[in-house]
């Protein structure tokens, strides 16, 4: 099916639509990496976005039951240079095309994704539309008027649930959590109680957790003032680890500020420097906002990690308590697992804070 990508600046790309083939509007962003498209499709942090993959061939190993990061695709749309129709992998259960059609996700191929990515790098992320029809002035007006809804309530769990374990009891605030984070904590034998994003601090603390984890999630951190107030209370009582959006909310709760990046960091090949050791790690990332460094002077936060591509803040710690935030994804999914040890480092701090050592297994670096 022929179709078009229309951007808010008026740029049009002709394309071949597949999947649902319906008209959709969302923020157009790009993600780098040679593999991991199933994780990208199902990552709740991509909720409401039209995702462009920079690698030219996508779908060559199909879709399987193991690589998902949530129960269904969360992207609004999907753009690739070429979609493989005959995947080859022993775990493949269906093609990319069938998967997107089944979940009613509109996708496009045949677009020059290099040219599209360069435009997004030069002008920043833009609102875009995938449509099977020739774009009209009404479509262009719809792009100008489009305002994304608050995404966190759309992707958080609706009910509290538990995951058994014999180790530390962690309360996890689900802001749109990836299954990879839960799996990383399970491998470390943690007992997890997972809460909806807008749960009150008192209700979280009532289960008497040893520590708190603030998950990844989509959107602008400043769209969640109620959660920021909850985090302010939690960090006064327990060790806390914030990942991605959780890291940004932690910074806001501490009095720092955040800002929108021009085109964000999305992909599984972003270099980050550990400022304590000088070592550089290749990390998996998915965020469009970052903590403003010049806002940290009025807080008790110090920078622990820095992005080597643009110098932005990638990690923070409180100077006076066991509270950390990391902007990248130590669980990977997709990407390198080089920073998985940060989960172990956090749990070691939990052991010290609780006075209970040796109850959590170490999970081989990831």
- The more confidently predicted of residues 200 and 362 is 200
Please, which pLDDT band fits residue 356 given cuts at 50, 70 and 90? confident
Cis peptide preceding 334, ω within 30 of 0: yes
Give me the phi and psi of 77, to 5 degrees please.
Answer: -155, 170
Known catalytic membership, residue 109: no
* DSSP structure class, residue 78: E
Give me the phi and psi of 147, to 5 degrees please.
Answer: -130, 120
pLDDT recorded at residue 360: 54
Q: Which of 305, 331, 360, 366 is catalytic?
A: 331
Q: Which of 190, 244, 333, 360 is catalytic?
A: 244
pLDDT recorded at residue 79: 98
Residues 136 and 175 in one domain: no
Q: What is the average pLDDT score of the chain?
A: 96
- 228: domain CATH number? 3.40.50.880
Among 145, 180, 208, the domain boundary falls at: 145
Domain that holds residue 59: 2-145
Residues 165 and 88 in one domain: no
Known catalytic membership, residue 331: yes
317-347 pLDDT per residue, tens = 999 999 999 999 999 999 999 999 999 999 9
Q: Which of 247, 305, 329, 366 is catalytic?
A: 329
Answer yes or no: are the C-beta atoms of 335 and 269 closer than 8 Å.
Answer: yes
Residues 83 and 45 in one domain: yes
Residues 48 and 167 in one domain: no
Residues 165 and 141 in one domain: no
Q: How many domains does the chain have?
A: 2
Known catalytic membership, residue 244: yes
- Please report whether residue 366 resides in a domain: no
Residues 169 and 248 in one domain: yes
Residues 129 and 276 in one domain: no
Residues 22 and 85 in one domain: yes
Please, which pLDDT band fits residue 359 given cuts at 50, 70 and 90? low
Residues 102 and 219 in one domain: no
The DSSP line for 285-307 is: EEEEEEE-GGGGGGSSEEEEEEE
pLDDT recorded at residue 364: 46
Q: What three-state secondary structure class fits 209?
A: coil
Distance separating alpha carbons of residues 263 and 125, to the nearest angstrom = 5
Considering only the C-alpha atoms of the chain, give the largest distance between any 2 of them, rounded to a whole number of Å: 65
pLDDT recorded at residue 15: 98
pLDDT recorded at residue 363: 55
Residues 243 and 304 in one domain: yes
Residues 197 and 233 in one domain: yes
Distance separating alpha carbons of residues 266 and 268, to the nearest angstrom = 7
3-state secondary structure 331-354: CCCCCCCCCCHHHHHHHHHHHHHH
- 25: domain CATH number? 3.50.30.20
Among 84, 118, 145, the domain boundary falls at: 145
Among 145, 162, 192, the domain boundary falls at: 145
Residues 228 and 345 in one domain: yes
Could you give the count of Cα atoms lying within 13 Å of 340 in the half-sphere of its Cβ? 22
Q: What three-state secondary structure class fits 246?
A: helix
């Amino acid at each position: 099916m022929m179709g078009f990508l229309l951007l808010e600046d008026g740029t049009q790309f002709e394309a071949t639509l597949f999947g649902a083939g319906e008209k959709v509007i969302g923020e157009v962003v790009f993600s780098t990496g040679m593999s991991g498209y199933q994780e990208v499709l199902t990552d709740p942090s991509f909720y409401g976005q039209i995702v462009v993959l920079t690698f030219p061939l996508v779908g060559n190993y199909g879709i399987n039951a193991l690589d998902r990061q949530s129960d269904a695709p969360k992207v609004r749309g999907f753009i690739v240079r070429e979609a493989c129709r005959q995947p080859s992998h022993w775990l493949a259960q269906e093609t990319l095309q069938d998967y997107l059609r089944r979940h009613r996700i509109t996708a496009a191929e045949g677009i020059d994704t290099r040219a599209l990515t360069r435009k997004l790098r030069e002008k920043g992320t833009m609102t875009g539309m995938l449509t099977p029809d020739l774009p009209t002035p009404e479509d262009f007006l719809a792009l100008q008027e489009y305002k994304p809804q608050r995404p966190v309530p759309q992707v958080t769990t609706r009910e509290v649930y538990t995951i058994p374990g014999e180790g530390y009891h962690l309360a996890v605030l689900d802001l749109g959590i990836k299954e990879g984070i839960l799996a990383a904590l399970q491998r470390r034998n943690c007992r997890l109680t997972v809460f909806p994003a807008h749960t009150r601090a008192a209700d979280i603390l009532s289960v008497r957790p040893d520590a708190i984890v603030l998950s990844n999630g989509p959107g602008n951190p400043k769209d969640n003032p109620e959660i920021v107030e909850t985090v302010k209370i939690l960090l006064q009582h327990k060790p806390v680890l914030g990942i991605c959006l959780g890291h940004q909310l932690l910074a806001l709760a501490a009095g720092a500020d955040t800002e929108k990046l021009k085109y964000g960091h999305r992909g599984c090949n972003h270099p980050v420097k550990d400022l304590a050791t000088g070592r550089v790690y290749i990390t998996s990332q998915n965020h469009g906002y970052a903590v403003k460094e010049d806002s940290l002077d009025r807080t008790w936060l110090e920078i622990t990690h820095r992005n080597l591509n643009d110098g932005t803040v990638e990690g923070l710690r409180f100077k006076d308590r066991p509270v950390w935030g990391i902007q990248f994804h130590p669980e990977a999914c997709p990407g390198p697992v080089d920073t998985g040890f940060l989960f172990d480092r956090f749990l070691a701090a939990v052991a010290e804070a609780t006075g209970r050592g040796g109850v959590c297994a170490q999970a081989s670096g990831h």
